[in-house]
Structure 1
Amino acid sequence: MSTLPAGHRVLPDADAVARAAAERLVAVAAAKPGHVGVCLSGGSTPKLLYRLLAGPEFRDALPWDRLHWFFGDERVGDRAEAGSNRRLAEDAFGDLVPPGHLHPIPTDRPAPGAAAAYAVELRGWYGADRLDPTRPLFDLVFLGLGEDGHTASLFPGKPEVEEDEAWVVAVPEAGLAPFVPRVSLSLTALGATPLILFLVTGQGKRAPLARLAAGENLPAGRAKARGETVWLLDEAAAG
């Protein structure tokens, strides 16, 4: 039995994972006319990806004027960790993103209010209050894998994982440090895309990958695209 999830691709290192993800984004953007919605993840490997996208190798290959950037989750409240995913993207992309094309989760209010506000933002982007199975919310979703099997801010054993109607959920209690209130897209919203790319690097991810491959009901394993769900792994994570 494989100890890796279905749909995996093993690459030499974290830089190669970031490059493969960047190439897929370029291909997605080239294949679709008009606006392209991309849902971003936080973490060290996405940080490599975002710097790569803004660097000389990929910057001119992307139609920045057509790209709209959203977030799968965010830390909110009045602590220093709040807004970390937004800052990650802003620091990497700089002025490449036209005004109004970065859609951050609000961090200046309690999690329930921030979740409600972001749901309004997403519905405005989508142009409807209900998801149509024939029309995606995003063209590409980037996700990561936590050492406990979480993805976005959907943690094992927490009620937010079971939400199947709301697009955005408040997460008052995170399953891992830092224990900061969070807002997360639900599995319903994350899956409303033709393509999910999981970016997974480092030895610390071997255990959750093995648990997923064994069929354990972890949040990351329940995030499924309408089309293709791809796990981009480096050799350290794949073992």
Structure 2
Amino acid sequence: MKPTLVGAAVSMFASYVIFAQAPANAPAFEVASIKLNHSGTNGIGGSGVCSSGGKVSVRNIPLNLIIEQAYGIKEFQLLARPGWLTSERFDIDARPGSRVGYDDCKRMLQSLLAERFKLALHPETRQLPIYKLVVGRNGPKLHKVDADAPLGIKTFDTNKGQLITRGTSMPQLAGMLAMTGELENLVVDGTGLDGYYEFTLEWAPSSVPAEVSPGPSLFTALQEQLGLKLEATKGPVETLVIDHVERPSEN
């Protein structure tokens, strides 16, 4: 399911990722179970990753998705993957001794992957396809707001295809566009527009049939509603390269 954030103030979304291996003294889950799933189906279940105070409960999930969530990356940023990372699926349950925050939980998950899957990674910058957010030919259709005014996101709903802001910078918009589920690549800001802007952006999610959710694509909506466009190009992207990974040790 795509991520949905409604009525929340969304913080800065960078268009790049900085990676760091979990430190040797990182906190660990009190209990962790990893089992190979033999169902032969594709559906993923469970309550999710790092929810409910730092619990991990997922069913029938391929390892590449767990790594991507643990490190906050997209699929194309994980390189040198053996075939079984996407073909074999696992049931993973892990819980901390006490409630922990989301960032701590992700570090604990990184440690668990290193311990049970012998996962070793290193960061590497690659020139990869990206999108650059630029101003359209007829100029932007944006209302600039004072930096001292209340800023933030009123609605960001990727299932409905709606983004309503009270004051958002262009780098923030670029990061949020990459989170819509409509784009496979990262988005960087190339508008040259500084400051904060309020606007409404509405598009038809590609995952919803056109007869259910008629409307413009994200690309068209950006041009028609905001006077902006996405240009396909190449640029430096931080990736994670797998140096070593093994099938998990027994519980």
Indicate the TM-score class for this superposition, using the shorter chain for normalisation. Answer: under 0.3
Structure with greater proportional helix content: 1
Larger Rg: 2
Q: TM-score w.r.t. structure 2 length?
A: 0.23
